[in-house]
Chain A
Amino acid sequence: MPRDNSIKSVLVIGSGPIVIGQACEFDYSGTQACRVLRAEGVRVVLVNSNPATIMTDPEFADATYVEPITPEYLESIIAKERPDAILATLGGQTALNAAMKLDELGILAKYQVRLIGADIPAIKRGENREEFRTIVEKVGGESARSVICHKIEECLEAARTLNYPVVVRPSFTMGGLGSGIAFDEAELLLIAGAGLQYSPVTEVLLEESIIGWKEYELEVMRDHKDNVVIVCSIENVDPMGVHTGDSITVAPALTLTDVEFQKLRDLAISIIREVGVATGGCNIQFAVNPRDGRIVVIEMNPRVSRSSALASKATGFPIAKIATKLAIGYSLEEIPNDITEKTPASFEPTLDYIVVKIPRFAFEKFPEADQRLTTTMKSVGEAMAMGRSFPEALQKALRSLEKKGSEFDWNFTRSKEDLLESMRIPTEFRLQEVQQGLALGASIADVHKATGIDPWFLAQIQLINQLAEELKGCADLNQEILRRAKRMGFSDRQIGRLRGIDESEVRALRWRNLIRPVYKTVDTCAGEFEAFTPYHYSSYDLTSEIKPRTKPAIIILGSGPNRIGQGIEFDYSCVHACFALSEAGYETIMINCNPETVSTDYDTSDRLYFEPLTLEDVLEVFHAEVAAGPVLGVITQLGGQTPLGLAAGLAKEGVPIIGTSVAAIHKAEDRGEFGQVLKETGLNAPAFGTAFSYIEAKQVANDIGYPVLVRPSFVLGGRGMEIVYDEESLQGFIERATEINPEHPVLIDRFLDNAIEIDVDALFDGKTVYLAGIMEHIEEAGVHSGDSACVIPPQSISESMTMEIFATTEKLARAIDVRGLLNVQYAISEGKLFVIEANPRASRTVPYVSKATGVSLAKAAALIASGKSIAELRELEILPRASIGTSYGIAVKEAVLPWNRFRRTDGKNVDSTLGPEMKSTGEVMGIAPDFGSAFAKSQMAAFGALPKSGSVFISLADRDKTQAVESARSLHELGFKLYATAGTQSILASEGIETELVMKHSEKTGIENKSAVDLIESGEINLVINTPFGRDSKKDGWFIRSSAVARGIACITTIPGLKAAVSGIKSLRNGPISTKSLQDWTRK
């Protein structure tokens, strides 16, 4: 049956801010959905609070609502747009939960809007553990023995029958939030207690332990005719016990016979039918006992998931795209396979290569956190690599992580016994421990016993070790051994390290021996049919499949695995560059290794290379493409620090860098050179110095005067940055946080207390500056800009200061000699403008500024890099005539922090303080006609709906107390119960506002009296108001905030925010809330 013509408009629900467990894979899936629907002539209404996404770009939908994904806002949008259907299966758990809530509240029925993809009963059958178990049993499968519990006493009772260890899984949470393994009663109390809180239905499942079993996932698709296909099988290298998002995984499954694989396939098909996912994708997880093959079905997601994004990239079968087509009525055999063109989508991709995915963690940002990997997902990103063998793909994936210590290494610092002991506990670097352990003589049997990793994988790692041994021992690096090493995935750098020579020397030798990678094609069919989509990966094999071309090409370097400080925002810029340059007549070539992104969708660029972003790998792609046709150059300024860091090396090898030159990058990044720039332009900067030792650092700090901001050079996301108030902490910082040496100096800046911080994104073409947006930070100075809420246009700076910012930005752009994007951070202290830093690249605020001002900055930047001038872009109406971008309405960006993911080894929340080191994973935007409403929206989008009634905790800084009185009074009058700390209470009491006293966490003396934090943690508080007190009680404030965040309670930290929240609450209670699409905002 062709498409269902009764569906004329569809509401697509996005997944909101990037959080651990729900990242930009849902931008990839949602963007595909929007594209498909629009191509089919369906009107697309989109809601997503995350401005950093491609999907929320106005051209991807007919009406784009950057609004909170809460029932109130969704209802308002539904009432206004009256869509025929809602597609909620492509926006992760957030969208699915939102759809369920709409159903529960009767909103779906009220507006006669139906869900397409999976309906409510199917979602419930898939997600409700008890119902799912029944289904598994019905189709002849087995589940792990388990007990559903709603109270902690029930948990204790259940554990006695299941025996420890038991697995705790809260119902209806995403990314395994709140789940864990309890080895005894004390652990169970902690984990299950938290799990009950995380579950929106206060339900956890306790389950027999199948830790150490083999773990598999199948990606399944079904259409309305009941045709079912398995898109991909994924095998976890880390056995059961580690969340699949935190596991190293491979596709296809490698250690099952056909008989065993077909059992999983049969079960998966029966389950999707029985659950009744009408159309679309789902994934089903299995555990297989390696001793006897017993299969246990673990769970299913009745929606597109992180694994679906991985499976799509791994196979070339675009699950989200197909799922959307199925949702509007097509059946699988009616949809062509994009890649082969001639065959249909009703088939099962087969791979003639191996895909390895490795998670990337951010424990360095959370040093207190428990670094053991468990069933709660902790990774913040992932890298994927493809190769013609597992060793090749594995080693490529390891170097794709771009993290020190991730590539296999043969310098041993630990003993075999030590390694064998520590590898028993899964951690970020367990695989490296395994590799070193095997290299030091541990047997496959020993390592298998310690880790549960299948011997097949261990044997492959042993092959790598054997070759390393040969490389180390051979008399000279001849062609034969070099070729074998490259086939095993060794990088030039690794070979160099083994031989004690430089990477470049290895490369030169290799090139002399004509050892170059070939590029194979991801074609879904192992070569059976011709592929028309140039989606490539490298391998040291025989023949290459790169086709010649005539159009000049531009290579765009992506940003690699997501990490804190470098995420989806950079991918956004890269994707826009692809679109803009393609439109301008260039052939666009994308290199990236992040499977979650839109940039690695084969539809985004003309050619896609799924490759690590290292100098070696980029040089090889460049070489292959130069052989294929003209290459104009490489753009390095859009993907964040990763490509920027490669620019100098590439330029040295003669690769043309287009856009901002390498010399200009250095001018901005190098402290000394940048100091010179400031001096020449006569601009103010906080006093600073560079120190090569602690003694020097002490001297510099004394000269500058405390407080000082200290950090290592060349960093992104404020890595290792700290504000130091005295000599003692300076010493602490230097001892703890840096490898201070002549190559790695420490930078010391005067920290401007009580300053207003300003962020600017601008474009420069060599002549003209376009100041795209001025953002004012809402958080106090000292919080990393990525973690701080900010607002466009600025709320507290004068017209003359705006002009000064413009003039200063122009001076900087000219002095650095930027071609494209420039991000500058300023501080205004006592009416004076200071330059904090300048980054000659796309910043993480580019998408936010673009959305707030309706100007696509990344697109303009890419065109400037290709040689267009700002004047020309103005002619083309890509840039406005004005010198400074103006926002439509007031747009507030708020950061979202991952505190609830991290606990200490004692089970307590990590002590979450914000500072100059960035810790947020994502962001939301609120846009409204006034600051108050915009701010309220941003808070709701970040922290959940504002309460309409209940209890409020208030704790205010002295300077804010009088200003807050009216808001407190309003809350009191609205019937909220108010809790306050002593100082706040007395002020409010003097104004006749009644509050209940609660102590600060730091005042707490015993367990009998409750602190504010205790109240929040016990769920008695519905809204937290806590304005920072300055540095002394910062810890108290942030402790309050972090527990609020951990419990998903809205937390207001500023007076404007409080006022806004109160007006927001009033409007929530008084009737229709206001929503407006980006298209309406920009309509003239």
Chain B
Amino acid sequence: MMVNASSGYLVLDDGTIFEGEAWGATGEAFGEIVFTTGMTGYQETLTDPSYFNQVVVMTAPHIGNTGMNKSDEESRRIWVSAFVVRDPSPLVSNWRSERSLEDELNKYGVVGLSGVDTRAITLHIRERGAMRVGIFTKGNLTREEMVTRVRNTPQMAGSYLADSVSIQKSEVIPAEIGRDFRIAALDLGIKSATPRNFAKRGVETVLLPVNTDVSEIERGGFDGVFLSNGPGDPSRMNDVVANVRSVLDAEIPIFGICFGHQILGRALGFDTYKLRFGHRGINQPVLNRLKDRVEITAHNHGFAVEAPTEGEFSTVYGPGVVSHISLNDGVVEGLKLLDRPAFSVQYHPEAAGGPHDANYLFDEFVKMLGQYAKR
């Protein structure tokens, strides 16, 4: 097959191929294909470590319009393995922009593909489920060769990715006002919006690498423990799950988000499972069952916790409830223990990008820190 200099291909595990144009860095990239439906926040998506090893398709057609800037970065780099858009912006227009999106993709060597029918790809994933994908914007491979390469890459199910995104040495993010509390945040791929939210509320965050020994947490005198978001299959996180159980035993307040929520769920004895194509967007309705209120929330998860949604459930740590569910498909979106200080949500109250409806959860955690402090 002829490969035009500017052509690029999106090659799916099931043999389907979409042709587009090379954009950003050229080369080959592999991962799990996912689509996200947010109309704003591409920079936050790119820099969210949870997207590590994923090829992200943006359903919004025009991407790159507002460029990239330092203050909207959710981590130190771009994590997606490739980025697929319909219409990249020919110029950047925003007073805060520092660099263009394409420059940034080139800087991190992120392969891009543009000019494809992103809606067609999205509908395909919706029907067939998330799967492995390869983006090829360089080289002379035949269709068969490209598909074979894709099929030789690892599946997302069963992937352990936390150590690839976690920091190596602990870091401190100081409180902006006062320093009422100090918490340990296990970095499984944390977004910077999370410590920012704590800092605003007078909480100092000590960011710990994923492999931190539990004794270090227990001896650290932390007022609480935060379990961050991150990439990978929660069923592979046995070590961290064991650590969380110790923290639960110690009655140190726990707050988990996304991957952290799945880990708390497992610590409570629930299984996790892979969703067909996941939830990725910033328009997702979640019902807070304790308040009977709808929250519009940011989602980015391919796995979910299997927990009984009717009434209370019991765990070795006492009774608990599914506090939040997705109104779109009934997926468990929040867990809360009733007798111990632990709760978690599957979605992103820190937003970035996305709405701030669930920001109150940070207040609730801070309140919990207060209640359990010096007990």
Query: Interface residues, chain A, CB within 8 Å of chain B?
Result: 225-227, 229-230, 233, 252-259, 261-262, 265-266, 290-293, 331-333, 342-344, 346-354, 388-390, 444, 454-456, 459-460, 462-463, 520, 525-530, 541-543, 545
Contact = CB atoms under 8 A, between A and B. Distances in A.
* Interface SS majority for chain B: loop
B90 A527 contact: no
Contacts of B282: 258, 348, 350
B296 A255 contact: no
A344 B283 CA distance: 12
A262 B356 contact: yes
A290 B283 contact: no
B59 A526 contact: yes
A343 B293 contact: no
B354 interface: yes
Contacts of B294: 225, 227, 229, 331-333, 346
6 contacts: A262-B351, A352-B122, A354-B62, A459-B90, A527-B126, A528-B126
A229 B69 CA distance: 28
Contact of B95 (A292, A331, A342, A351): A292
B292 interface: yes
B75 interface: no
B303 interface: no
Given A265-B356, A343-B327, A527-B126, 11 more contacts: A233-B39, A254-B62, A255-B94, A332-B294, A350-B281, A389-B62, A389-B87, A455-B93, A526-B122, A528-B122, A542-B117
B159 to A, nearest CB: 24
Contact of A454 (B18, B93, B116, B119): B93
Contact of A226 (B44, B122, B293): B293
Given A352-B118, A526-B60, A542-B120, A225 B292 contact: yes
Interface string B274-315: 000000011111010000111010000000000000000000
Contact of B61 (A347, A353, A528, A543): A353
Nearest to A348: B283
A255 B37 contact: no
B35 interface: yes
A388 B117 CA distance: 9
A460 B65 CA distance: 11
A253 B94 CA distance: 13
Nearest to A332: B294
Contacts of A255: 65-66, 93-94
B99 interface: no
Given A256-B66, A348-B283, A266 B60 contact: no
A352 B37 contact: yes
A586 B285 CA distance: 38
A354 B296 CA distance: 22
A259 B67 CA distance: 13
A511 to B, nearest CB: 21
Given A348-B283, A527-B123, A290 B327 contact: no
A344 B292 contact: no
Contacts of B349: none
A139 B243 CA distance: 43
A488 to B, nearest CB: 11
Interface in B31-49: 35, 37-41, 43-44
B336 interface: no
Contacts of A529: 126, 328
B174 interface: no
Contact of B62 (A230, A343, A390, A542): A390
B18 A542 contact: yes
Interface in B332-358: 351-356
Interface string B75-93: 0000000000011011101
Given A262-B355, A527-B126, A350 B95 contact: no
A259 B196 CA distance: 14
Q: Which of A349, A350, A527: most chain B Cβ within 10 A?
A: A527
A462 B89 CA distance: 12
B358 to A, nearest CB: 13
Given A258-B40, A352-B59, A456 B283 contact: no
B40 A528 contact: no
A543 B90 CA distance: 25
B70 interface: no
Contact of B65 (A332, A343, A456, A545): A456
B194 to A, nearest CB: 16
B91 A527 contact: no
Contacts of A226: 293
Most interface-central of A290, A520, A526 (chain B CB within 10 A): A526
A347 B71 CA distance: 28
B62 A344 contact: no
B124 to A, nearest CB: 9
A239 to B, nearest CB: 13
Contacts of A229: 285, 294, 296
Given A257-B96, A262-B353, A527 B119 contact: yes
B271 interface: no
Contacts of A454: 93
B72 A258 contact: yes
A438 to B, nearest CB: 13
A258 B90 contact: no
B285 A388 contact: no
B289 to A, nearest CB: 11
A528 B351 contact: no
A456 B93 contact: yes
Contacts of A348: 282-283, 296, 355
A340 B220 CA distance: 50
Nearest to A545: B123
A491 B117 CA distance: 21
A227 B353 contact: no
Nearest to B277: A528
A528 B87 CA distance: 20
Contacts of B283: 347-350, 525
Given A349-B283, A388-B86, A455 B91 contact: yes
Nearest to A343: B328
A354 to B, nearest CB: 6
Contact of A225 (B119, B285, B293): B293
A261 B95 contact: no
Contacts of A230: 296
Contact of B117 (A291, A444, A525, A541): A541
Contacts of B60: 252, 350-352, 526
Contacts of A233: 39
A648 to B, nearest CB: 35
Contacts of B39: 233, 252-253, 350-351
Contacts of A353: 61
Interface in B91-126: 91, 93-96, 116-120, 122-123, 126
Contacts of A542: 18, 116-117, 120
A259 B72 contact: yes
A487 to B, nearest CB: 9
A518 to B, nearest CB: 8
Contacts of A291: 95
A342 B87 CA distance: 31
Contacts of A351: 39, 60
A543 B283 CA distance: 25
A332 B283 CA distance: 14
Contact of A257 (B66, B89, B354): B66
Nearest to A229: B296
B353 A344 contact: no
Contacts of B65: 254-255, 456
The 4 A-B pairs of least Cβ separation, nearest first, read: A258-B353, A542-B117, A258-B41, A526-B59
Given A226-B293, A542-B18, A543-B123, A527 B284 contact: no
B38 A344 contact: no
A258 B72 CA distance: 9
A426 B13 CA distance: 53
B96 A352 contact: no
A463 B61 contact: no
A972 B117 CA distance: 75
